[in-house]
Amino acid sequence: MGGRAKSPRSLANGNGRATSPRKQEVDTGENIFLFIPNVIGYSRIVLAVASLYYMPLHPRTCSLLYSISCLLDALDGLAARRFEQSTKFGAVLDMVTDRCTTACLLVFLASAWPRWSIIFQGLISLDLASHYMHMYATLSMGGSGQSHKKVDQSRSWLLNMYYSNNKVLFTLCAMNELCFIALYLLSFSSPTLSPSLLAPANEGSSLQPGTPAVPKPSMLFTSPWSAGAMEMARSNKMDSTVPWFLAAVSAPFMIVKQYINVVQLVKASKWLAEGDRLERKRLGLPRRKGEKTQ
């Protein structure tokens, strides 16, 4: 017969129904875990762990490693935009790394200054609660494709400016961490904040080993004459001038950052409550008295 040749889409199967060829899945071979921004994120974790390793005994080394880890936070964002490698995994990795490293430093400050531990514990709780609530509200109310950094201006102009302006975001985050680093250095160098630094450690002191005033030889350094022990011995003789200056300059930014955390927590809570009201209205809740559940 001289009919037109049928296209593959019009071919019928054994049941007489039209079928279409199976769509081939395109495998690009991309390994998300090895994207450049994510590799930078892994290096941040390594540096953060190294800073924790030196935190009780090496204030200078710890501060240097911790600072580099924080500065790389800006680099991974630049790399993500430059190489078009922005991913959800990278965003979560970045946030989790930030929250964990900051929490670890605040835990040390709480142990260095027991009288003020409730303040540092409160800062840890606020930081974790604020970002978790914001992330959860964004995913549940804005959809899985919504980024936590995309905040509508009508919902909060402050959060919109904070997340949309990279310079504002970087400045506040960097100064917030700088303030905590300065407090960390002051715990080793300032008799004003740590009067125990003035007390001789070998004259009947009741101080517990491991505090900045009485740093015991760490198990990390098997010999008390090692380079680590020398650094430990010098730590109590640090000049507190520079840490005081850094703390004074960065403190206002840290306060603003904590205020933004409060705003973020409140806004996220209200957004979730708004979703709850809509869901309850859709379900016809609350039911009238005497109305039975179907």
- What are the domain boundaries of the chain? 32-195+221-276
The count of residues in the chain is 294
Q: Determine the Cα–Cα distance for residues 225 and 236; give it in Å rounded to an integer.
A: 17
CB within 8 Å of 263: residues ≥ 6 apart: 156, 158, 159
- Residues contacting 10, CB < 8 A, separation 6+: 18
Spatial separation of the C-alpha atoms in residues 262 and 200, rounded to whole Å: 42
CA dist 96 → 42, 44, 206, 283 (Å): 12, 11, 38, 36
Catalytic positions, written as ranges: 98
Helix-, strand-, coil-residue percentages of the chain, each rounded to 5: 65, 0, 35
Residue 223: what pLDDT?
A: 52
Separation CA 272–CA 137 (nearest Å): 6
Q: Which two tokens stand for residue 104?
A: 């670890």
pLDDT at 251 over 70: yes
What tens digit of pLDDT does each residue of 202-241 get? 554 555 555 555 555 554 444 555 555 555 555 556 789 9
What is the percent of the chain with per-residue pLDDT over 70, rounded to a whole number? 73
More confident residue, 206 or 274: 274
Q: What is the DSSP string of 88-104?
A: HHHHHHHHHHHHHHHHH
* Dihedrals phi, psi of 273, to nearest 5 degrees: -65, -35
Residue 36 reports pLDDT greater than 90: yes
Q: Considering the domain 32-195+221-276 in this protein, what is its CATH number?
A: 1.20.120
- As a whole number, mean pLDDT of residues 169-192 equals 93
State if pTM tops 0.85.
no
